[in-house]
Structure 1
């Protein structure tokens, strides 16, 4: 049984408790009283989305610092009442997943090092670095080196395993993974590692919003695990795949493939594209906005959640 966006997510979020009760009841009453685990999971997920306007970008920012990706900020935002988060997760040089932003195909750029990690860019002495476990091509360091960092001089470096442990202890938290742009093969390796790190904790895996920036990334994620929450990025016109180029084709593809949400840049969620996307059953995440008026504008166009660094504290 399917429900229109007006029934599911266009409820006044000011009536948060009522919205959550309504959403849960709708799903519990669907299917002539026969409710399977997937329906219950989706009801809980949609209730979490309905409970707030914001998905917390890169686990949260403060004091003009962002892309922190640290448990320190995650816990602060969780204690403030937020339940839906996004994190950048990538491989170290020795293939351990950590909370760190990467460029295409897991490359840590100079900006990733200097602005996001808040560390000196070390790749001026490549020969010395290579002997100490750094990956010169990918510009990454070892897990042990990463875990010694104070992110932006202040925050605790966080492994993906620690993030999963936090989710295990906080069973109402949902996490969107930003894997960056990866090939099919690298995405499959990435999500296989995600599953391995989870160690059989299906309750945690089922609250991960998996997927990626391309249809190939989505396919690779699903080969690693049957993630019930799948997100596909609605890229800008210059980068969007031909088969999903038109918003109508994008929505059709998502419907046929059982994709539950889309994410997009704030500059892409405009005009006719926004109208078509908002008329679908997809949950819509729009990134990244730190101005409350702009956030309200995107919500009025049909965004279900706005990705933010700072608005969680307003």
Structure 2
């Protein structure tokens, strides 16, 4: 009898040892807010940010990140591509000066110029078509759009191109596209183009007060709000939570800041370099009262 009891206890202990709760990836089917990190501009690579490159995506995907923000602009000939800005500063940041004539280094590039200009000497720039390729190859990723065109009509055209090309290829891709809106009127403009399952209200460009943001989020069932770090307060976060919105802060690259902001009630972070694992592990600090 003792032998049987010992065997039962041994099997039970082994079961506890190898039992693993459902993974977050299984629980997060259909909702980007199950993840804590949004990789900013496809995430950093080798200490470089803002590349929006294929290699940056691969590097951060392999580290466990699944939500990727991408900057989107139109080329000179009207193609949609992943680029933060058409400026001399960005050309220098991406180390593309030797690949472009001097008079093109601060210009809106053609699609061919864009695709042929390697980033940092070897990284591949991405078009929206390339990003749709990635979405089909990696069906567990979400793309958060940061539309960089300044004029409302250009922004509308950009989003319409994005939606129409996705519908022509595979309409289900749009279930994993999360547009950012930058002001209240933009919500209606986006809805007229496509009824996306999720939206993020990003506050860096708005003059809305906290109360105006909360009222807008409540009335329109906005799923998430992105807040500049300097605007974060416990009261604002608490009210947004009551309004049903997840809260993200941009752009955070230090685990100390993650720990501080998580204690205040922030749900997640845009980051160049942090990973899901690193952000999750900061919660261990709470146990020691730090």
Normalising by structure 1, what TM-score? 0.73
Report Cα offsets for 1:124-167 as digits up to 9, x if no partner: 53xxx5xxxx9x8xx31100010011112231111111101111
CA distance in 2, matches of 1:16, 1:227: 31
| 1:120 aligns with one of 77, 97, 102 | 97
Would the aligned equivalents of 1:184 and 1:216 in 2 still touch at CA under 8 Å?
no
| 2:89 aligns with one of 111, 126, 147 | 111
| Corresponding position of 1:309 | 272
Report Cα offsets for 1:170-207 as digits up to 9, x if no partner: 22111100113633322210111101221252211111
1:64-213 to 2 correspondences below 5 Å: 64-102=47-85, 108-115=86-93, 117-120=94-97, 125=103, 139-180=107-148, 182-198=150-166, 199-213=168-182
| 2:230 aligns with one of 238, 244, 267 | 267
CA distance in 2, matches of 1:178, 1:165: 19
Report Cα offsets for 1:230-261 as digits up to 9, x if no partner: 111123xxx534xxx23232122122223221
From the superposition, tell whether residues 120 and 297 of structure 1 become closer, same or farther in structure 2 (CA, over 3 Å): same
Moved more, 303-312 or 214-223: 214-223
CA distance in 2, matches of 1:61, 1:186: 28
| Corresponding position of 2:17 | none
Would the aligned equivalents of 1:99 and 1:157 in 2 still touch at CA under 8 Å?
yes
| Corresponding position of 1:57 | 40
CA distance in 2, matches of 1:96, 1:266: 33
Moved more, 58-67 or 174-183: 174-183
| Corresponding position of 2:184 | 215
| Corresponding position of 1:293 | 256
CA distance in 2, matches of 1:294, 1:181: 31
- Cα RMSD of the aligned pairs, angstroms, is 2.6
1:253 matched to 2:238? no
CA distance in 2, matches of 1:114, 1:271: 39
Would the aligned equivalents of 2:41 and 2:51 in 1 still touch at CA under 8 Å?
yes
SS of residue matched to 1:303 = coil
CA distance in 2, matches of 1:20, 1:146: 35
Moved more, 196-205 or 284-293: 196-205
Instruction: Name stretches of at least 5 consecutive residues in structure 1 with no aligned partner.
Output: 1-14, 25-42, 103-107
CA distance in 1, matches of 2:149, 2:235: 26
CA distance in 1, matches of 2:264, 2:223: 19
Would the aligned equivalents of 1:184 and 1:220 in 2 still touch at CA under 8 Å?
no
Would the aligned equivalents of 1:209 and 1:229 in 2 still touch at CA under 8 Å?
yes
| 2:240 aligns with one of 248, 255, 277 | 277
Would the aligned equivalents of 2:182 and 2:206 in 1 still touch at CA under 8 Å?
no
Normalising by structure 2, what TM-score? 0.79
Report the count of equivalent residues: 256
SS of residue matched to 1:178 = strand
CA distance in 2, matches of 1:287, 1:16: 31
CA distance in 1, matches of 2:183, 2:193: 16
From the superposition, tell whether residues 98 and 310 of structure 1 become closer, same or farther in structure 2 (CA, over 3 Å): same
Moved more, 159-168 or 173-182: 173-182
Report Cα offsets for 1:42-93 as digits up to 9, x if no partner: x6244x533x431111111132211010121112211222111111111111
